[in-house]
Structure 1
Amino acid sequence: MAKLPDERIQELLGDRPGWTRKDAKWLVKKYRFPQFMKGIEFVQQTAMTAEALNHHPMIAIEYKVVTISVTSWSEGGITPLDFELIDRCDRLYNAMCGGGDSSS
């Protein structure tokens, strides 16, 4: 899957609240949860989703905040697969937490 041009990345990010671009090759978002174990459940389900896509994010857990960072190592940057994974993360969060603002 080919790396996306900068203009397309910015365009796609405009439709994805809370997601930011870091160091030109990462998409990053912090999800806030009402309880620690909800965040852990989100991480488990995100891991299963990533495994099914064979596309694995960096995941950091800080009490009730989970940070997801995504890039396509094989392409040296951001690809459509990264956007597929972040969309699935957002849908998972919305299903678990009622669609409220996930960003901290």
Structure 2
Amino acid sequence: MLYVLLGLITVGIWLFCLFDVLTTDEGGTRLLPKFGWFLIVLLGFMIGSALWLLVGRPRVPTGPSGTPGGPSPTSPGPRPAPPRGPDDDPDFLRGLERRIRGDE
């Protein structure tokens, strides 16, 4: 059972790398053209997959804090405050207290 699981994981990683090579932009690969990386991953199986993940895959841009995918040039900036619920509104709470006491 363990060998079957390891085999499935191996094939899954290999398929992921093949799909990743195919969906990467032509100019995004490192060291070799896209077709070269495709052949290496296809024929090299796990060694080719490891090479793709370690050497050929494009790097993820990092933001100022070091987190992946920092602010994009199209980001609108800070998000607006979310809408407040009625229980956060002091006027609503005063009116509710009046209604409970029967002042209205």
User: Taking structure 2 as the reference length, what is the TM-score of the superposition?
Assistant: 0.30
Write 1 or 2 for the structure with the bigger share of helix: 2
Write 1 or 2 for the structure with the bigger share of strand: 1
**Bigger Cα Rg:** 2
Higher relative contact order (CA 8 A, sep 6+): 1
User: Taking structure 1 as the reference length, what is the TM-score of the superposition?
Assistant: 0.30
